[in-house]
Amino acid sequence: MAQQLVKRQHYVPRTYLKNFATAKGDEFYIKALPIDTPTHDKIIGINTTNVCLERNLYTLPGETHEQKMLIEKFYSDEIEQHYNGIYNLLKDPNKKTLTPEERERIIATVVTMFYRTTKWLNQHNDLMRRVYTQMFQLCEQTGKDYFTYEGIKISIKDKKLEDFLKENKMENRPAQVLTQLEVALKLIQVRIKSDNIYLSTLVDDGCEFITSDNPVVLQNISGSDIMPFDPSNIMKLPLDSKTMLFLMPDADENLRNQIIRHNVSGNYCKSEQLISNTEQFQKADKFILGDDSSLNSYLHTKDFAENPLSEEEMKSIKSIDDFINKGKQLGLF
């Protein structure tokens, strides 16, 4: 059968989103909150078929449907069709040991989900627009009618800035999505050699994770600036409202094929929820996602969570218990 030409392409898989959604027959509906207007009245319900997608995002140049759908087919066949199986084995409390294939699929799912979102593309294009604008303005100030970027001479002669930016759009979508996939595949091979699989589950009622249109979050143990391609980053992905998946690099090699599970309750449950949900909001491109209770719960704590502590208060926090006590003082717990 000939390859179908798919135009509406999801950069966060529907098979992932459905675990935060409510089923109505064969359809799944999720609640979304735009990050630019984060108030209770802006929460909307939306079918997962209509969120986290763009038209022709992964479509490549080519003469045949097979050529055009190469990346879309890769994500569908190699990642998305295996997601339900991965999710089920991670949620099975009796599953203790992973086969090499299972472990590789888990790592590949998280890494590709990190690199395939549009936030990367949008940030790159915004950066290039700023660079070209600055170069254009510098030429005007110095009386030059061209500048050189990466060895290429670019003329601005007799051009206005807006016309120049339109003429030199820094968006080459096919090349960008191919590069994203290439980087992801390389990082997968590196992380297979080092990562352990860790799951954290929120036990208490009322503690829920949210997700977003950019759901994988990076953390760096050293506290240094986070470099996206650094294999020493911890990678975090909420699997549903109760479960967080961690890829932990450079951990105990003897536990490499084990699923390490940890249940959290009490104030630790609330603090883990607060930290993760704040990260999702901060890293989202356009929306945070979940259900009514999880999104409203996040909004309840948002102002407190984002209120910066004084330098003196920061110095007083030396442990997770200090963090929890401070949260109690602020009314978060």
pLDDT in tens, 137-161: 999 999 999 999 878 888 999 999 9
Q: Is residue 76 part of a domain?
A: yes
Query: By the 8 A CB rule, do 275 and 211 touch?
Result: no
Residue 168 — pLDDT band, cuts 50, 70, 90?
A: confident
- Provide the 10 A C-beta neighbour count for residue 269: 21
State the total domains in the chain: 1
List the structure tokens of 177: 């999505």
Query: By the 8 A CB rule, do 274 and 206 touch?
Result: no
- Measure CA 41 to chain center: 25
Q: Is residue 155 part of a domain?
A: no
Q: Which helix (H) or strand (E) holds 192?
A: helix 173-192
Q: Is residue 45 part of a domain?
A: yes
Residue 221 — pLDDT band, cuts 50, 70, 90?
A: confident
Query: By the 8 A CB rule, do 247 and 197 touch?
Result: yes
In this structure, the strands spanning 8-10 and 53-55 are antiparallel
List the structure tokens of 76: 């569908």
Q: Is residue 34 part of a domain?
A: yes
Residue 242 — pLDDT band, cuts 50, 70, 90?
A: very high
* Res. 310: pLDDT tops 60: no
Q: Is residue 132 part of a domain?
A: no
* Res. 309: pLDDT tops 60: no
Residue of 323, 317, 315, 232 lying closest to 271 (CA atoms): 323
Q: Is residue 117 part of a domain?
A: yes
Expressed as residue numbers, the domain containing 98 is 8-122+172-329
* Res. 80: pLDDT tops 80: yes
- What are the two backbone dihedrals, phi and then psi, of residue 74, each rounded to the nearest 5 degrees? -60, -50
Q: Is residue 287 part of a domain?
A: yes
| pLDDT, position 126 | 85
Query: By the 8 A CB rule, do 194 and 242 touch?
Result: no
| pLDDT, position 333 | 54
Torsion of CA 321, 203, 254, 197, to 10 degrees: -100
Q: Mind giving me the DSSP string for 157-169?
A: TT--HHHHHHHT-
Which comes out higher in pLDDT, residue 296 or 326? 296
Query: By the 8 A CB rule, do 31 and 290 touch?
Result: yes
Q: Which residues pair with 97 in a beta bridge?
A: 258
Q: What is the mean pLDDT of residues 101-119?
A: 95
Identify the three-state secondary structure at position 198: strand
* Res. 40: pLDDT tops 90: yes
Share of the chain above pLDDT 70, in %: 88
Q: Is residue 249 part of a domain?
A: yes
| pLDDT, position 1 | 44
Share of the chain above pLDDT 90, in %: 68
